[in-house]
Each structure stands twice: as structure tokens, then as C-alpha cells.
Amino acid sequence: MNITIRNMQIDDSATVISMMREFYGSPVVITNGSEEIFAANVANCLSGLTCAEGFVFVDGDKIVGYAITARSYSTEFGGECIWLEDIFIAAEYRGHGIGSQFVRYVKARHPDKILRLETESENVAAVNLYKRLGFKELPYLEMVCTGD
């Protein structure tokens, strides 16, 4: 297996949205998302926005996963953050180092930035991976207001 990471392209849209359905329908994500949100996420990754960037993980010519990063600023850490928003890897490709490869890829692209992410505490495999990669747990209650 020789996984490459590349920027998301328009031709990847249907595959990535299919993977989003699986990811957001799984117990590792609290919200279920929607077709509208999935389409907006892909469109924003492809639009050239500086705050969102989409990637796909490719084995040969087969897309086996995707990721989305987002930029923000942290007053707590006094610098720009790169949020690892979505990291999805097809089931048969999990446990082969693709998640680690992606985190190293992001660190290399943004060596002077703080990396942040969210994960469900029940997603033990992901929590253990992130800890091995140097992430530390923060004792926060995260809240959101969507304007509804």
C-alpha cells in the first residue's frame, strides 16, 4: 500500500460526500450532518477559501479517505491554529498509519502553527493515535451556537 495525500479536486466530490455520509452517520461524530452541509464543505474546500482546505488519501487511483483542515487564531496560545476538522479513512485501510501520515503532512505544511482537533472520548483508537502523535487533552466543555 502506497498512500499519497493530495488536495481535494472537483472530480473527488461524489466520493468524498459518500465518505462524509458514513463518517457523520457513525458513533464517532455527535451530529449527523446533512446533504446540504456535506456539499457546502466540499464546495468550500474547492473554492480557494484560505480558512478551509480539503485533502484526499489515495491508494493507486482509489480514494480511501479524506480530511478537512480549517484555520483559526487562538488567543490562549497566541498564534494561528490549524484545526483537523474531519479525518476519515475507509474501514479496510484503518490501522495502516494513514492518520499518522496525515498529521505529519499537516505539521510539515504548517511547522509554526498549533494543531487542534476534537474527537469523541469513546473513539479510543483515535484518542490513542492522537496522544502518540503529541496531542494533549484539554479539559474544556465545548459549546456551539448555530443561530437556530
CB 71 within 8 A of CB 31: no
For the chain, how big is the Rg over CA atoms in Å? 15
120 with 128: CB under 8 angstroms?
no
Distance CA 137, CA 139 (A): 7
Q: Known catalytic residues?
A: 130
Report CA-CA distances (Å) from 109 to 73, 75, 83, 98, 106: 17, 22, 13, 16, 5
Distance separating alpha carbons of residues 16 and 21, to the nearest angstrom: 9
